[in-house]
Structure formats: C-alpha cells, structure tokens
C-alpha cells in the first residue's frame, strides 16, 4: 500500500471519528437542554395571558381576553393556535406549552448543528460543539420551558437562516411561521431579503419569490387582524413602545447585562471581529443578522421580563461567530481549546446566580398569585371584576370575570389613551402606560397590586393621586405562607367626576414610608407618614394612621399605638388591620375580654376567614407577654 493511500485512509478514519464526535456532542447538547428545562420547570406569568385567550376561544367566546372586548393583547398568534390544538387533543395548556417549548428548543439546537455544517467542514467536530454549547446555555433552557413562544420563534428564525444559506425556497415557510409566532418575524424577513438584495446587487428571482410568497401567505392574517381587532399592530405595541430616551437607556442596560453574562462584555467576540477579512459569505449573513437584531432590541428598550428573553434567537448565531473567531484567529489548537473552555464555563457560571434569583422570584409570584386567587374565590362567590398589574395567572384563574389590565397590555383604552406622565412618579418599572381615571370609572370590585399593599408600578401609584380611590377602596387580606397578603376591595360606589386631585408628592412620600417601615426603620417611617398626612386632603387616607400606629407598636410605644388605633376606628370602620391589632391589645396585653370580643366581631364582619389566624396569633402573643412579665419580675 502506498504512502498516499495510507494517508487517505487515515484522513477518512479521522473524518469519521470527528463526525461521530459531532453527533455525540449534538446528542449531549440536546440532553443538557432537556435537563435544564426540567430543572427550571415553571410557567412564566405572561404565558397565562395566551392561555386565557385560547380558553375563551374554546368556550365559544372568540379570541378575547374579556368577553365582549376585542383587543389583541397577545403577540404570539400561532403559539396560541398551537395551544388551542393541544387542548383539543386533551392536553393541559401548561403541560403542552412546556412540552412544545422543549421540543422547539431541541429543534433550534439541531438547526444550529446544520448551520455549523455549512460554515465549518461537514466532517468537523465544530458543528457538534456549537450545538452542545447552545444546549448548556441557561437562558435558553429557561425560556424553552416557560410556556411562551420564545423557543418556537427561535427555531423558526434559525431555520429560516439555515434554508436561506442553502438558497432553498423552504425559507418562505419558516419566515411566515416566525412572523405568525412573533412580530419580530417581519424583522427576520427584512434582514434576509435585504442581505440578498445587497449581496446579489439585484432583485433576483429568488428574492422576488420570497417576497411575493411571504406577502401573499400573510395577507389573510392581516385581513383577519384588521376585521377582528380593527388594527394591524398588537395592543402591547401601544402599551410598551415609547421611542424615547428612557426606552433607549433601558435597551442599552438590557443589552449590557446580556453581553456581560454571556460574552464577558463582548470579549469573546473580539477574535471574530479581528478576522473580519476572513469572514465567509455565510458568516457575513449571520453577523448582519446579529447586529441588526441587537440594535432593534436596544431601540425597543429591551424586555420587561428578565433572563435575556429577547436574545434567545441570537444565541445560535453568537455561538457560531464566537467559535468561528477562535478557529480563524488562533493557530494553536491548545489556545482554541482553552478559549472554548472559557466560553463554555463563563456562560454557565456567570449568569447562574442572576437567573436563579429571577427563577425563584417567578415561582414565588406564581405561588402567591394562585393562593391569593384561591382565597379570593372562597371569600367571594360573585362574578366580581378586578384590576391587576400582573394579569397572567390572575386572569387565567378568573375565567368569566372581567379583568382590567392596569398596564394596558390587554386594554386598548389604557394602551392608546394613557395619562400624561406624572412628574415625580419615580419607579423602576418599564411599563409606564396607565389611565387611572378610566380604571376607576369601571369601578372594579378589587384592585390587586403585584407588591400587595405597597404600590410599585406607575399604574398602581397613580391611583393614589385620586381621592376617589383613597375614599372608595380598603384592603382585605388572606393569610398563607406565614404572611398576611392584601388586596384592595371597593366598599363604596364611585360617583361624580373622577379627577386627579392629590399632590404628586403624596404617593412618593407614602411609598417611602412603607419602604422604611418594611426595612424596620420605624422612626424614619413615622416621619414620612406624618409628612404624607400633610399632603393628603380630608378625609385622610386611614392607612397613614395605621402604619404610624404599627411603627409605634414595633418601637414599644404601646400607649401611643393603642390611642392612634382607637382614633382610627372611630373615623373609619373598614380598616380590618386596626381592629385586628386592637383585639390583640385587648386580649393579650390589657386582658379586657369585653373589648376584645367587640373587636373580634368587627374582624369577623370584614374578614371572617382570618379569625382562626387571629385567635392563634393573639394566644401566642398573650403567652409571650406573660412570660416577658414573669421574666422581668424574676430579674427584680
């Protein structure tokens, strides 16, 4: 056998070995992805908005969030249709969305492998390495199982790029499906079409066919949207989009966080940028796609949801260009290997704490919302209405109830006719569309804040600048998970004109007071609440006095707290927290059974379901006070 023949056989064996390793890494990437999805195992609150639309459709009420209100409050039409089909097959929305999301995640990994085979040698190990890296990305696994369309859209976007690189007409179907899944599908279509026009310097037959087919296939969808919703753009576009400096800064911050967590602030992209002269035609398309899409994310202000959701469709391309840069810049295999290990280790370790924090918070929110609605449905059997700033689980659990989205995602009035921004309304929320006058005019029976008694979103805080809200709503509470959870209940009908008639500084001062109270900085909190009293018109908001009393109780100024509570119940008979505390005073401290029984009845009238907890708390505190008194006597 000649030396040349031996070399050919050796190369063949080597190629087959690397190809097998590539397949192995592809399989390991899929396994890693599925393992992460099973670990996260949650459904993001926004997914339940889609589920409510799907459920209403299946109930015969149409594609609506509230029955009779035609508002396109979703941005994932095709995903909703898929959920409807899954339910018709007998699978629960939550389970089906998770399964479909994970499968689409697997599909994205496979398409990444196929694109890797185009960019790198088909016999190379590198396509498998790209797929494995994608499978280990935490944010990718997080959003695949979250119940939203993120993974499905990513699969269609990456699939469209793959078929475009092959100059296959199948790209049309993926572009159409991507657009039906999310409006950003139009952006993917525009990038691909523009790339073809600039690279060929002509409107080729291929480009003409893609353009014509894309438009023709989507015309029925556009007609449906216009005739059914009287709009082409979804309602969240109006609720979320502002195109201002604040939005741009939000987008830069969002992008900066992503770059640090997954690309070491962009360091892993430096090799790719340094070898720009060696970029192939295919890699140029991917780089253009990444650049334009990233700029788009910045311009729209990023995403209100954390954990890099909007960047999920970009992960495959970023992995491909990063590894491409390592291979082209570094001649030493050792340096390439070290670079790959650093990339893999960084994107697993650096964002892990950040993602786990939001994952725990999301699961806690889901649990709190579910339990609150459980208690509310037990307490109120009517078809009550509710206004809420976090509408997903609440809306899905309250099928048939009118649910007013305070942020306007599913309400066209708030989205298209928001109040003018209120000076001094400082908040970290990015959703700043609200219309308190409109919300109060609808007189929801309950108003539920994401942070309960502490207004956080601009839509929540703005309500406190209306005396109609302060006068008509009082809190009601449910005890679970060792905490009293509060929502606002309307006790009085709202009559007459609804006007913002309270100093803008009131809500910020009140909020700061609650913040200090939550931090157990009680003396500072009392000062803030006293200042808020001066900013609040008569009749004063009763909870200002309640928090002052509670802060004094925490400071062991018991007589002051007791007197304030008695004054409070003499001017407002609906603050159950005041009656609760007075019962504890009379029962546990003053040992006045007659007055204790009086306040017990008051609590029972307002929140009867709280009585078992109240009695248990009072008994434990009475024993605690008794032991403290005995200990003090022994010390003397």
Q: What is the pLDDT of residue 631?
A: 57
Residue 552 near residue 560 (C-beta atoms within 8 A): yes
Average pLDDT, the chain: 93
Q: Which residue has the tokens 């018991």?
A: 558
Cα angle 416-421-424, degrees, rounded to a multiple of 5: 160
Closest of 440, 443, 438, 441 to residue 385, by C-alpha: 443
Residue 7's pLDDT is 47
pLDDT digits (tens, 9 = 90+) for 151-173: 999 999 999 999 999 999 999 99
Across residues 193-220, what is the average pLDDT?
94
* Res. 115: pLDDT tops 80: yes
Please answer whether residues 165 and 347 qualify as being in contact, where contact means their C-beta atoms are separated by less than 8 angstroms. no
16: closest CA among 125, 107, 96? 125
Structure tokens at 217: 């296939």
Residue identified by tokens 């459920």 is: 55
Kindly report, residue by residue over 385-399, the tens digit of the pLDDT: 999 999 999 999 999
The pLDDT of residue 448:
96
Over range 482-501, report the average pLDDT. Answer: 93
User: What is the pLDDT, as a whole number, of residue 607?
Assistant: 96
Helix axes 93-119, 315-329, angle to 10 degrees: 30
Mean pLDDT of 267-289: 95
Contact of 614 with 578, CB cutoff 8 Å: no
- Full 3-state SS string of 455-507: CCCHHHHHHCCCHHHHHHEEEEEEEECCEEEEEEEECCCCCCCCCCCCCCHHH
Contact 93, 43 (CB under 8 A): no
SS3 447: strand
Query: What ranges do the domains of the chain cover?
Result: 3-40+75-350, 358-502
> Computed over its alpha carbons, how large is the radius of gyration of the chain?
30
Structure tokens at 501: 């008639």
Residues 55-79 pLDDT 10s: 999 999 999 999 999 999 999 999 9
- Kindly indicate the confidence band of residue 402, based on its pLDDT and cuts at 50, 70 and 90: very high
Q: Are 51 and 76 in contact (CB under 8 A)?
A: no
Instruction: Report the side by side order of strands in the sheet with 483-490.
Output: 403-405, 386-388, 446-448, 483-490, 473-480
Long-range CB pairs of 95-100, under 8 A, 24+ apart, other chains included: 97/43, 97/47, 97/51, 97/147, 97/148, 98/37, 98/41, 98/43, 98/145, 98/147, 100/152
Dump the DSSP string for 321-367. HHHHHHHHH---HHHHHHHHHHHHHHHHHTTHHHHHHHHHHHHHHHH
Q: Is the pLDDT of residue 45 over 90?
A: yes
pLDDT for residue 633 is more than 60: no
Q: Residue count of the chain, please give it.
A: 636
> What gap in Å lies between CA 399 and CA 391, rounded to an integer?
12
pLDDT at 629: 56
What CA–CA distance (Å, rounded) separates 307 from 303? 9
Is 451 in contact with 464 (CB distance < 8 Å)?
no
Give the residue among 469, 461, 448 at the shortest CA–CA distance from 392: 448
* pLDDT tens-digit series, residues 282-321: 999 999 999 999 999 999 999 989 999 999 999 999 999 9
pLDDT of residue 426: 72
């Amino acid at each position: 056998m000649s030396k040349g023949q031996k070399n050919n056989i050796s190369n063949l064996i080597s190629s087959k070995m690397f190809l097998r390793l590539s397949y192995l890494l592809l399989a390991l990437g899929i396994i890693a992805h599925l393992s992460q999805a099973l670990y996260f195992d949650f459904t993001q609150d926004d997914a339940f908005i889609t589920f409510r639309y799907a459920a209403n459709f299946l109930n015969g009420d149409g594609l609506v969030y509230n029955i009779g209100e035609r508002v396109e409050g979703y941005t994932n039409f095709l995903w909703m249709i898929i959920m409807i089909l899954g339910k018709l097959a007998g699978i629960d929305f939550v389970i089906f969305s998770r399964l479909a999301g994970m499968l689409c995640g697997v599909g994205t990994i496979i398409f990444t492998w196929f694109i890797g085979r185009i960019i790198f040698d088909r016999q190379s190990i590198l396509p498998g390495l790209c797929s494995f890296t994608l499978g280990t990305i935490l944010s990718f696994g997080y959003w695949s199982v979250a119940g939203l369309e993120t993974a499905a859209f990513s699969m269609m976007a990456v699939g469209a790029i793959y078929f475009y690189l092959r100059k296959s007409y199948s790209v049309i179907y993926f572009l159409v499906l991507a657009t039906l899944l999310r409006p950003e599908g139009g952006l993917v279509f525009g990038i691909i079409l523009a790339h073809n026009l600039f690279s060929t310097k002509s409107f080729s037959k291929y480009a003409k066919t893609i353009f014509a087919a894309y438009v023709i296939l989507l015309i029925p969808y556009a007609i449906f949207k216009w005739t059914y919703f009287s709009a082409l753009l979804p309602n969240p576009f109006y609720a979320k989009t502002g195109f201002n400096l604040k939005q741009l800064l939000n987008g830069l911050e969002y992008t900066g966080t992503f770059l640090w967590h997954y690309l070491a602030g962009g360091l892993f992209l430096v090799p790719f940028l340094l070898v720009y002269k060696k970029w192939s035609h295919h890699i140029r398309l991917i780089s253009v796609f990444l650049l334009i899409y990233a700029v788009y994310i910045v311009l729209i202000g990023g995403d209100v949801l954390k954990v890099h959701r909007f960047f999920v469709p970009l992960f495959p391309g970023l992995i491909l260009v990063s590894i491409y840069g390592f291979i082209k810049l570094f001649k030493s295999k050792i340096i390439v290997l070290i670079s790959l290990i650093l990339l893999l280790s960084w994107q697993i370790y650096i964002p892990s704490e950040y993602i786990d924090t939001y994952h725990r918070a999301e699961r806690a929110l889901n649990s709190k919302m579910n339990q609150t609605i459980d208690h509310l449905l037990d307490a109120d059997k009517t078809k009550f209405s509710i206004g809420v700033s976090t509408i997903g689980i609440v809306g899905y659990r309250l099928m048939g109830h009118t649910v007013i989205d305070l942020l306007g995602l599913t309400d066209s009035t708030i989205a298209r006719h928001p109040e003018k921004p209120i000076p001094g309304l400082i908040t970290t929320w990015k959703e700043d569309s609200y219309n308190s006058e409109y919300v109060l005019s609808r007189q929801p029976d309950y108003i539920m804040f994401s942070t309960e008694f502490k207004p956080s979103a601009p839509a929540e805080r703005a309500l406190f600048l209306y005396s109609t809200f302060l006068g008509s709503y009082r809190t009601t509470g449910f005890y679970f998970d060792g905490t009293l959870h509060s929502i606002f209940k309307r006790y009085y009908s709202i009559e007459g004109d609804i006007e913002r008639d309270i100093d803008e500084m009131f809500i910020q001062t009140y909020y700061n007071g609650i913040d200090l109270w939550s931090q157990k900085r009680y003396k500072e909190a009392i000062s803030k609440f006293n200042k808020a009293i001066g900013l609040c018109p008569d009749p004063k908001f009763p909870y200002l006095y309640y928090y002052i009393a509670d802060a004094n109780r925490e400071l062991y100024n018991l007589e002051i707290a007791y007197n304030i509570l008695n004054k409070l119940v003499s001017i407002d008979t609906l603050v159950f927290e005041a009656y609760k505390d007075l019962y504890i005073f009379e029962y546990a401290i003053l040992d006045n059974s007659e007055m204790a029984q009086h306040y017990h009845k008051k609590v029972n009238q307002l929140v009867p379901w709280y009585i078992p907890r109240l009695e248990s708390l009072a008994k434990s505190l009475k024993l605690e006070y008794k032991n403290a008194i005995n200990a003090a006597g022994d010390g003397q």
